[in-house]
Structure 1
């Protein structure tokens, strides 16, 4: 079924800090996202309506795009009518025309196709989302009513109609009234408009902070859990390194590096969450350069690898398993050191300790063990 698209890109940018249709989003101008979506859906003609003062910029930015340009009017309704006029030489009366706001850039093929399918049986359809918030009517700052949200929907775009129907509906619209969208115009003309459920990603760009919201939709994150375990035996010494803190003790842990079991377990947890192997892959014990190395180097390396992949660390949790030394007096310092090494906040880090009630190698004080769990996000 043949369909055409009109993209209205006439915003003045008073609330968004500039003309949002030309602002970058995900590496390209906002306007191009909608054009690309309609092109991918095989739209017959794509008309882009821009203010007269933006025509030169549009020709420059959209030089390689399959679009027709039309000049915007003094209102959104007039801009849409100008877009319809630009289709008169190509659109048949029974063709579908979809009217879309450039300020809703994250349009998808699936949403366009859902509208096309609905127009197989319906004369008109729009994308919309059900209202989920409680509604209040106010007189200034005073609430005077609380309308029920049942059966209320938030209109989105595209809005789809037969070309002849919406053209005639606009021709009959009173010149002294303002139409907020095409569904209002069609309804006034007696055209039955049906709803196709839209998507949250079609949020409209209105304020500067809205760009961050849409970028989050463009780059969904996956949560990844990692776990690590490490153990070292006790040997002669005067202090021990645990979670980046040196503790005076009558023994030390034996290992190729500084044998900080807490940092080793946490490093393995982070590498595992990111699918990057284990600590031995990155710092093999056979390599002499890591002899006696400070284990905070290993942990920082794991954090850097995750962030280089666009990931973020959500939280870190370490449990030390030993009879001695007592961990509680040093726990706060350990948390502070872990937060410093990993570049996280203190409330994202936890260090705990437990014993095995004299059972096993830790209970016999033959060695110390550590286990760690982490949560990260990756694009």
Structure 2
């Protein structure tokens, strides 16, 4: 068990309610932001893991149908409840579930704040035990302007301003009573303030960012991945046909006898795309370019790999080394190596010295040994700069 500096009684007296019931309309996209990938896991998973190591009861408030549609799998020991129409409705559902578990205090946290730390949670817990209401805040570092239309009306004194974060801590029964009567709110502390309660503040953390836009997620990906070195492999096989050009490593080698596949069947570029996506924990080629979608029919695999590298770089990763092995009777790599390396380095936008391409056979074993198809294994090492 992770140490937290809290006594066993303090730990069992608290429940965490992680609010992930929003639709993410400001973020856009098919999936709500809390279920998007970040550093190898979903955004929501990061917060859940932190709180599971600190409190005994963790409740996650989800949009209706989340579990049934397989969008998120509820971890063992975590309680899932369905959200409501408004934020306070969702929080009330979660806090009520915490009350049923006997929690005297509750920590309400935004599921879209994946960078929450154990130290921050501990500070909020101690502040909550002291005052009954506690919110983490950070100072406003930029100059603040009050604007009317497009004109500056005044410069606001920022010395008394703070940005509120989560988790926010409260006595469970008091928060329930307040939320039951509350109008629309943006956080629970404001509801408590409106009800006449004094809210204690503790130091927040600048890294405790909330994912509201795509830019927020891109920033967090780079921050959370920085300094990380990862390796991964990609593997692909295609059978030879007659009705398509033969394209290998982005090079058109013949007008017929090409590799069968939904796109142009380029095993090298497919294997490399899978490898780089896996290393950056960003899915796989089938996820981003589904073979059932008509827009990828006969697509140039160089485009697929370029788009894959855009995703990888958004996650903050760059290729350190790439090793590619073609598996089959043809083509003979030794005669084409320089051409392959030049083309692949251009597609990936990396130095040719960072990659190597070689060939091997199966010693006449199987379909590849009979010259009926071609395979490729790509092994990549990637690094996120500090």
Q: TM above 0.5, one fold?
A: yes
TM range (shorter): 0.5 to 0.7
Q: Distance in 1 between matches of 2:108 and 2:69?
A: 22
- Counterpart of 1:154? 163
- Counterpart of 2:114? 105
Q: Distance in 2 between matches of 1:85 and 1:198?
A: 26
8 Å CA contact 2:35–2:42 kept in 1: the answer is yes
Q: Distance in 2 between matches of 1:341 and 1:25?
A: 28
Q: Distance in 2 between matches of 1:150 and 1:61?
A: 41
Q: Kindly state the Cα deviation for residue 342 of structure 1 after the two structures are TM-superposed.
A: 8.9
5 Å-filtered alignment, 1:155-234, equals: 155-173=164-182, 177-221=183-227
The runs of at least 4 aligned residues of structure 1 exceeding 4 Å deviation read: 340-343, 376-379
Match of 1:6 among 9, 12, 17: 17
Q: Kindly state the Cα deviation for residue 148 of structure 1 after the two structures are TM-superposed.
A: 1.0
- Counterpart of 1:73? 84
5 Å-filtered alignment, 1:1-379, equals: 1=10, 2-18=13-29, 19-41=32-54, 43-57=55-69, 61-92=72-103, 95-173=104-182, 177-221=183-227, 308=320, 378-379=385-386
Q: Distance in 2 between matches of 1:118 and 1:201?
A: 20
8 Å CA contact 1:115–1:126 kept in 2: the answer is yes
Question: Gapped runs of 5+ residues in structure 2?
Answer: 1-9, 229-317, 323-349, 354-382
The size of the alignment, in residue pairs, is: 230
Deviations along 1:87-116, one digit per CA (max 9) or x if unpaired, are 232124xx2200011111111111111111
In structure 2, the CA distance between the partners of 1:378 and 1:54, relative to structure 1 (3 Å rule), is closer
Q: Kindly state the Cα deviation for residue 14 of structure 1 after the two structures are TM-superposed.
A: 2.1
Q: Distance in 2 between matches of 1:63 and 1:341?
A: 43
RMSD, aligned α-carbons: 2.8
Q: Kindly state the Cα deviation for residue 377 of structure 1 after the two structures are TM-superposed.
A: 8.3
Larger radius of gyration: 1
8 Å CA contact 1:5–1:97 kept in 2: the answer is yes
8 Å CA contact 2:39–2:225 kept in 1: the answer is no
3-state DSSP class of the match of 2:167?
strand
Q: Distance in 1 between matches of 2:207 and 2:121?
A: 14
3-state DSSP class of the match of 1:210?
helix
Q: Kindly state the Cα deviation for residue 221 of structure 1 after the two structures are TM-superposed.
A: 4.0
8 Å CA contact 1:119–1:125 kept in 2: the answer is yes
TM-score, reference length from structure 2: 0.55
8 Å CA contact 2:226–2:384 kept in 1: the answer is no
Q: Kindly state the Cα deviation for residue 198 of structure 1 after the two structures are TM-superposed.
A: 1.1
Q: Kindly state the Cα deviation for residue 194 of structure 1 after the two structures are TM-superposed.
A: 1.1
Question: Gapped runs of 5+ residues in structure 1?
Answer: 223-305, 311-339, 344-375
